[in-house]
Structure 1
Amino acid sequence: MEQVEVYLVRAFSIAGKGGNLAGVVLNADSLTEPQKQFIAKQVGVSETAFVSKSDKANFHVSFYTPTVEVDFCGHATLSSFWLLHHLQYIPAGRYRQETKAGVLAVDVALNGDVLMSQSLPTWFAEYSAQEIAPMLGIQPSLIAQTGLPIQTISTGLIDLMVPVPYGVLDCLEVDNDAITHFCQQHECVGFHVFEMNPPEAFYTASCRNFAPAVGIPEESATGSSSGALACYLHRHFGYQQAIFEQGRAMKMPSCLVTQLAIENGELTQVQVGGEGAFDRICYISI
């Protein structure tokens, strides 16, 4: 039996607390895909990242939920590069990671904060409030009154952006089975539900993310969905920077910073970042 060392890191934490736990396995070159899936299931957090050597970038990173491999994971990317810097394997600077979503840039600040690039947005189908609202336990009229579309977008993973009015986010009654069926039928990962905050608030929007189809009933910080939401808010409100709160309902508050680059009216870069914090180490026998 071999013991695999798994670091648990709180991504998008606030002053070292809250955030979203990700597993990180370094020097994962010798692990097979079934072994990675087994480790991710045993660790039991929403995603575990496996960092290996790459011929195309500084690192190859693969991402596994407890039930399936996914093309990209924002909070596990942050956790991986924060950990590499924390352990002094890499200095501050710009790096490139090879993922199934492409080769993406990652910036590591002197204090260890990470700002990661995501894929430029791909826009998919829109859906009606009548179809989506029952899965969240709210009336369709609540979604409709926002005046915003319900739409699937990807900056690495396909998520459904669902707007709700301010004050509704904490009142959802989620039907995990219905969301799972919808996501499998429409080939998306999960629902990213958000409410816009008052203009004077620190956070641009507060969010909740539900991805039961990939083994995540609710997630306290979702980097890939935050990139997609940043692009959505740019299209509808013109925002180039936005700060999102997530995890409040789980008592795991998280802070996600987003930044878009625009050149000649065209979106050229999507970045999502935040801080990390060490949680613990666990060992998995394979």
Structure 2
Amino acid sequence: MENIEVFLVNAFTKDGSGGNPAGVVLNADRLNDADKLHIAQVIGYSETAFVSSDAEVDFEVSFFTTTGEVDFCGHATLATFSVLHQKGFITDGQYRQRTKAGVLPVSVNALGEVTMVQALPTFGRTFSNSEMSGLIGIEEKALESMSFPAQVVSTGLPDLIIQVPKGYLDKVNIDEAKLIEFSKEHELVGAHVFELFDGTEATASCRNFAPLFGISEESATGSASGALACYLDKYLAAEHSRSFVFEQGRAMGALSQIFASVESNEHGVQRVKVGGVANVMGSKIVSLQD
């Protein structure tokens, strides 16, 4: 029997609280996929990251939910590099991680703030307000007042981005069975629902739902935050800064803060960055059967 240490980390914290928990396993080269899935299930967080060596880049990182592997996870990336930095495995600087979403740069500064470069966006199909109403439990009439369409956007993982009127975010009531089937049919991770703010320190407040992957709701989602930043860059255009601050997790009592920025020119988006801070809460030992 082998014992594996799993670091327990809150990612995208705001003023030291809130955030989204992730597990992090270092030196994971010897673990197979079945081992990783078992560890992720024992930890029970939305994602656990596994760090392995790589011959060409700094690290290979794989991500597992309680149901299986996903190509990328933003908050678990933040958790991973926070652990590496706080435990002295890396210093301030620029790094590259190999993921199933590609080789992605990550930077860490002296304050422990982690910024990750995500894959360039792909914009998928849009959906009608009537379809969205049935998924999120908001009447169609309210959704019709929105300027921007519900659309699939991916910066590594495809999410359905849905705007609701200000004051409606806390009223969202997901039909999990419908969203699971919808996600399967359209090859989505889940739905990222947001309301825009005016003149506050946050650009938008968000909620993320991925029941297909065993996540009823998540308090901070890095991948979807990158997708939302690209979505807002596309639809707000010159009306808005290309730097965004998102809050998430309010309805869960775990208010989180996520920073995102988009660099674009006449040829489209050239770079997407998402960042924040994380707190290492401790660790847990998980036993693997021989």
In the TM superposition, what is the alpha-carbon distance from 1:44 to its structure 2 partner? 0.2
CA–CA separation in structure 2 for the residues paired with 1:32 and 1:197:
44
Measure the CA separation in 2 of the matches of 1:218 and 1:56. 36
Equivalent residue for 1:196?
A: 196
Establish whether residue 59 from structure 1 lines up as the match of residue 46 from structure 2: no
Specify which of 215, 221, 240 is matched with residue 242 of structure 2. 240
Question: How do residues 12-161 of structure 1 correspond to structure 2 at under 5 angstroms?
Answer: 12-161=12-161
Shift of 1:57: 1.1
Give the TM-score, by structure 1 length: 0.98
- TM-superposed CA distance for 1:265, in Å, is 5.3
Of 136-145 and 157-166, deviating more is 136-145
**2:278 corresponds to which residue?**
276
Q: How does 1:149-188 map to 2 (within 5 A)?
A: 149-188=149-188
Gaps of 5+ in 2: none
Matches of 1:169 and 1:130, distance apart in 2: 17
Secondary structure in 2 matching 1:245: strand
Q: How far apart, in 1, do the equivalents of 2:262 and 2:220 lie?
A: 19
RMSD: 0.9
Q: What is the alpha-carbon distance in structure 1 between the residues aligned to residue 227 and residue 45 of structure 2? A: 22
Q: Deviations over 1:230-267 (max 9, x none)?
A: 00000011241100000000001100000112245532
SS of aligned partner of 1:66: coil
Deviation at 1:135, TM superposition (A): 1.7
Any idea what SS the aligned residue of 1:13 has?
coil
2:106 aligned partner, one-letter code:
V
Partner of 2:227: 228
Tell me the equivalent position of 1:218.
217
- Of 249, 253, 257, the residue aligned with 1:251 is 253
* AA aligned opposite 1:170: D
Instruction: Provide the C-alpha distance between the structure 1 equivalents of 2:266 and 2:131, rounded to a whole number of angstroms.
Output: 37
Deviation of 1:226 (Å): 0.2
One-letter amino acid of the structure 2 residue matched with residue 259 of structure 1:
S
Match of 2:277, SS state, is: strand
- Write the distance in 2 (CA, Å) between the matches of 1:42 and 1:15: 29
Structure 2 counterpart of 1:279, one-letter code: M
1:15 Cα deviation after fit = 2.1
Post-superposition offset of 1:273: 0.2
3-state SS of paired residue (1:36)? helix
TM-score, with length taken from structure 2: 0.97
How much has 1:56 moved relative to structure 2? 2.6
Displacement of 1:144 in angstroms is 1.7
More displaced stretch, 67-76 vs 129-138: 129-138
Partners of 2:265 and 2:86 lie apart in 1 by 34
SS of the aligned residue for 2:12 comes to: strand
Counterpart Cα distance in 2 of 1:240 and 1:103: 24
Aligned amino acid, residue 65 of structure 1 = T
| Alignment size in residue pairs | 285
Match of 1:266 in 2: 268
Q: Distance in 1 between matches of 2:286 and 2:56?
A: 29
Q: Which runs of 5+ in 1 are unaligned?
A: none
